[in-house]
Amino acid sequence: MQTWREMRRFPLAVQLLLVNQLGVNTGFYLLIPYLATHLTENLGMSAAVVGVVLGLRNLSQQGLFIIGGSASDRLGARGVIIAGCALRTLGFALFALGDNLPVLLAASMLSGFAGALFNPAVRAYIAQEADERKAEAFALFNVFATTGALVGPLVGSALLLVDFRTSALTAAAIFALLTVAQALVLPARKVEPNKGTVLADWREVLRNRAFLAFALAMVGMFTLENQLYLLLPDGARQATGWDGAAGLVFLIGTVANLALQLRITRGLKERGDRAGWIAAGLGLMALAFLPPALAAGMSGPGTSGGPDGAADAALRAAPVLAGALLLYLGVMVVQPFVMELIPGFGRSELTGTYFGIFYVLSGIAAAVGNTVVGWAMDTGERSGAGWLPWLCCALFGLASALGVAWLRRLRSLPEPSKPAVPVKA
């Protein structure tokens, strides 16, 4: 109830974009987690071809965020959001209707580019509409996004009982409805003409050393957040011997977000010092990986057999689920204030560009971080050092926390209404 009351205090545009994010994540997670299985088992494609299809989607999205951000600044966020949702409708429909490689590659590219358009544009629009209440708006955004990430796989697994095509068409229908709703309800904002070139905008952002230092310091946030879909679900499955245990990770996050996100953001905002809270939240995210690391270290090699009954499974899963809860709490502390700070690094006319470049850098960070964590998982499994990937993640988080604390000490991070001071050489 508190979530809905808080949501109604925002302008209609923000309310729509919050519901939009629930629909975006529901539609996305309804389809994408099951795409690889469809390509291999239903269409008989090799693992290499599946990697190309999935990799193209990720590259089209992460690599082109900067296009969506610049388009948002120059053309207006409303049109870019609508275009992005329309393109994802087409892309997901192609996944349902196509069974040959060219069509699937086109579907993958369209759905990825769609995300590159609407993701930075939505955040820029919210930042502009929410004004001094950006932190609360992005806290709600996190709640709706996390809820969609839980609902999507549940709906997708049910629809797969029919077939993959039904699941893909349902996801496309969700994005079609979102596109229509945005076209009818989302008000257009006046866009001031920009006399410079897009390349000049990019150069201005990339020359902002305070912003680049902050983006680099946030590598840990994106790497650890990605473990909600890689390391933690895998740890829950291994601890319990039950594939469904991965869903408990998302359930814990959704319940925690609904119950605590707004309270945490409001309480910390009243105490000021956004940068300090970001550093503390990153430290909490690092701490989240210590309970599973300790449990893996105490179990030692040669003790990885299945659990002996339900009680033993619950006992083994407890450190992983405790880690998941701590990680979600850390994200709840960090993410709204990070989203609030990004527009403060530069001119308001470049808000979309700042978000776009920030997410390009985050995509690179997540890819590198996941590669390192994947290596640690494989190495730990071969050597019997099950604690290795967990410790690796803890170190990522600690490094990011120290990086933000250093920038805070240099006073290089902006207050929500003040520009940043450039980092000294």
With cut-offs at 50, 70 and 90, classify the pLDDT of residue 288. Answer: very high
As given in the structure block, the two tokens for residue 253 are 């996050």
Alpha-carbon separation of residue 171 from 113, 155, 165, 273, 323 (angstroms): 16, 10, 10, 41, 31
300: left (phi over 0), alpha (psi -120 to 50) or beta: left
| pLDDT at residue 367 greater than cutoff 80 | no
Are the beta carbons of 393 and 373 closer than 8 angstroms?
Answer: yes
- H or E element at residue 367: helix 351-383
Task: Tell me what pLDDT residue 247 has.
Answer: 84
3-state secondary structure of 375: helix
Cβ-count burial of 270 within 10 angstroms (0-12 exposed, 13-18 middle, 19+ buried)? exposed
For residue 272, count other CB atoms closer than 10 A to its CB: 11
Confirm whether pTM is higher than 0.85.
yes
Residue 23's identity, in one-letter code, is G
Are the beta carbons of 290 and 325 closer than 8 angstroms?
Answer: no
In the numeric block, the tokens 């430290």 are attached to: 283
Cα 90 from Cα 182, distance rounded (Å): 16
With cut-offs at 50, 70 and 90, classify the pLDDT of residue 302. Answer: very low
Cα 68 from Cα 79, distance rounded (Å): 11
Task: Tell me what pLDDT residue 385 has.
Answer: 87
According to the 3-state scheme, what is the secondary structure of 210-257? HHHHHHHHCHHHHHHHHCCCCHHHHHHHHHHCCCCHHHHHHHHHHHHH
Cα 253 from Cα 328, distance rounded (Å): 6
With cut-offs at 50, 70 and 90, classify the pLDDT of residue 301. Answer: low
Q: Which distant-in-sequence residues (6+ apart) come within 8 Å of 349 by Cβ? A: 73, 192, 194
Q: Which distant-in-sequence residues (6+ apart) come within 8 Å of 71 by Cβ? A: 80, 117, 121, 352
As given in the structure block, the two tokens for residue 383 are 């050597």
Min mean pLDDT across 2-11, 299-308, 321-330 is at: 299-308
Cα 13 from Cα 185, distance rounded (Å): 7
Q: Which distant-in-sequence residues (6+ apart) come within 8 Å of 378 by Cβ? A: none
Q: Which residue has the higher pLDDT, 286 or 304?
A: 286
As given in the structure block, the two tokens for residue 381 are 């499994």
As given in the structure block, the two tokens for residue 373 are 């964590």
Half-sphere exposure (CA, 13 Å, Cβ side) for 52?
9
Alpha-carbon separation of residue 360 from 61, 135, 139, 229, 306 (angstroms): 9, 22, 22, 20, 41
Q: Which residue has the higher pLDDT, 369 or 422?
A: 369
Residue 366's identity, in one-letter code, is A
Residue 303's identity, in one-letter code, is T
pLDDT tens per residue, range 47-71? 778 878 877 887 788 788 999 999 9
pLDDT tens per residue, range 164-220? 999 999 999 999 999 999 999 898 877 777 778 999 999 999 999 999 999 999 988
With cut-offs at 50, 70 and 90, classify the pLDDT of residue 300. Answer: low
| pLDDT at residue 18 greater than cutoff 90 | yes
